[in-house]
Structure 1
Amino acid sequence: MTMHTEASDVECRPLRADAERNRLKIIAAAHALFAERGLDVSMDDVAERAGVGVGTVYRRFTNRDDLVTGVFTEHLKRVAARADEALDDPDPWSAVEGLLTWFCTVMAEDRGLAAIIMRIDHSQPEIDAVKAGFTSRIEKLIDRAMAAGVLRADLASTDVFGIFTMISAVADAMEPTVPGAWRRYLELILRAIHADTDDSPIATPALTDEQLRAIQRERANRQR
């Protein structure tokens, strides 16, 4: 009986591995399509991009909202992993700066992800559980940096969400016309939350009048 059970377990493992590979392929395909076209893509489109049958997609995700949740949950796992890397950085300020810069870069360059964050129900248990993990990591980063005296004393860990939201909004307005312009505003924010004043020149130049007008025209065209 024991030998039969062990043999059955061995036979099942490749199936579980295949199922997980398919799930990750589907999530990657959906993520790419969301970035290209927005969230209104069909499950058939996702199946075609992933190279699997649409039935396989529906076995993993019951509908598009479930798939959106899957993409976002996988992203949150990446955030948690990146936060762990930041905690391994012995320099408290470098850790905070690196994590904020990485996350804002992702938000600015991945508009599909930004759309998901604005639309998804963040109170879902699956999402809430993953968020709780990386929220505690961010709190540790903030506490460590404050103890080292490199962060202003009145900064709260919840301010990080506000920073992400602001940079995402700036990138949404500027990235199509002036790629990378959002970095100037991230640098301003990083200087604002640092405990010491930094009067050195900002690396990313300010917008020109022509760039500002181009951004405003492009934004108006998108809203028509």
Structure 2
Amino acid sequence: MSTSPASDADLRPLRADAERNRLKIIAAARELFAERGLDVSMDDVAAHAGVGVGTVYRRFDNRDELIIGVFTEHLKGVAGRTRDALDDPDPWAAVVDLLTWFCSVIAEDRGLAAIMMRIDHSHPDIEAVKSDLTGQMEEVFARAKSAGVLRPDVASTDFFSIFTMISAVADVTRPVVPGAWRRYLELLLRAIHADPAHDVLTTPPLTDDQIRAIQQARAAS
């Protein structure tokens, strides 16, 4: 039997509903991962998303697939932000805005930081997004080098280490001095600038008392 135009139209809202549910599940999972870490059950995710657990399993076979889904959506957000950076007429401002945004996401979302260290980055869904994203990010940095504002010896792979360092600093300082990581991002940005400024850092240094409190909180965790 041939399919009528009316029955085709009936299918479209179902596909849209399925995509809305998928994004709702991913958003709920990301919130729970940020609050509790990655050891969250599919039942917990379903409850937080306001859908049945069967709906979660129709979109994702298991938690590992859900984690892949969360990270893939994050990379799509990074790709959008990178396109915005390429539209910025100021090459250095583009680098600063992109790195600051990305570091703020990593610093404030513990679940995402954990995912980055645990996930299989060779997964086809991730590689599909990364293929375009990597080229866009390299273009942002190449443009800054051509403008003489980014050190010529900085490699694109250096930014993985910058994100990792900022994530580690944010993790240990968050309970006592939230946002302290911004000072160290400022220092790193000056380190990669071809002609760094010498004005005063905008984020204050940690005090001895704060460091002791951080150490005590870390020892008690």
SS of equivalent to 1:207: coil
- CA distance, structure 2, for counterparts of residue 161 and residue 5 of structure 1: 52
Residue identity matched to 1:76: L
**Deviations 1:23-61, CA, capped at 9 Å, x for gaps:** 001001111111111111111111111111100000000
1:202 aligns with 2:201: yes
2:96 corresponds in structure 1 to 97
- CA distance, structure 2, for counterparts of residue 10 and residue 41 of structure 1: 37
**Deviations 1:134-193, CA, capped at 9 Å, x for gaps:** 111110001100000101110111111111111111111111211010000000000011
Residue identity matched to 1:106: V
Residue identity matched to 1:39: L
Residue identity matched to 1:199: H
- CA distance, structure 2, for counterparts of residue 131 and residue 164 of structure 1: 17
1:182 corresponds in structure 2 to 181
Aligned runs of 1:112-131 on 2, under 5 Å?
112-131=111-130
Cα distance, 1:130 vs structure 2: 1.1
Residue identity matched to 2:189: L
1:50 corresponds in structure 2 to 49
SS of equivalent to 2:4: helix
> Any runs of at least 4 consecutive aligned residues in structure 1 with deviations exceeding 4 A, and if so which?
none
- CA distance, structure 2, for counterparts of residue 197 and residue 119 of structure 1: 35
Cα distance, 1:72 vs structure 2: 0.6
Structure 1: segments with no counterpart, 5+ residues? none
**Deviations 1:68-120, CA, capped at 9 Å, x for gaps:** 11101110100000000110101000000000000000011111111111111
TM-score by length of 2: 0.97
1:19 aligns with 2:18: yes
Residue identity matched to 1:36: E
Q: Percent identity?
A: 71
2:79 corresponds in structure 1 to 80
Cα distance, 1:6 vs structure 2: 2.0
Residue identity matched to 1:64: R
1:137 corresponds in structure 2 to 136
1:211 corresponds in structure 2 to 210
2:157 corresponds in structure 1 to 158
Instruction: Tell me the C-alpha RMSD between the 2 structures.
Output: 1.2
- CA distance, structure 2, for counterparts of residue 9 and residue 91 of structure 1: 48
SS of equivalent to 2:185: helix
2:27 corresponds in structure 1 to 28
Cα distance, 1:8 vs structure 2: 2.0
- CA distance, structure 2, for counterparts of residue 78 and residue 197 of structure 1: 29
Q: Structure 1 stretch 165-174 or stretch 182-191: which is displaced more?
A: 165-174
- CA distance, structure 1, for counterparts of residue 92 and residue 196 of structure 2: 14
SS of equivalent to 1:191: helix
1:41 aligns with 2:40: yes
Structure 2: segments with no counterpart, 5+ residues? none
Q: Structure 1 stretch 196-205 or stretch 84-93: which is displaced more?
A: 196-205
SS of equivalent to 1:152: coil
Residue identity matched to 2:204: P
Residue identity matched to 2:41: S
1:69 aligns with 2:64: no
Residue identity matched to 2:209: E
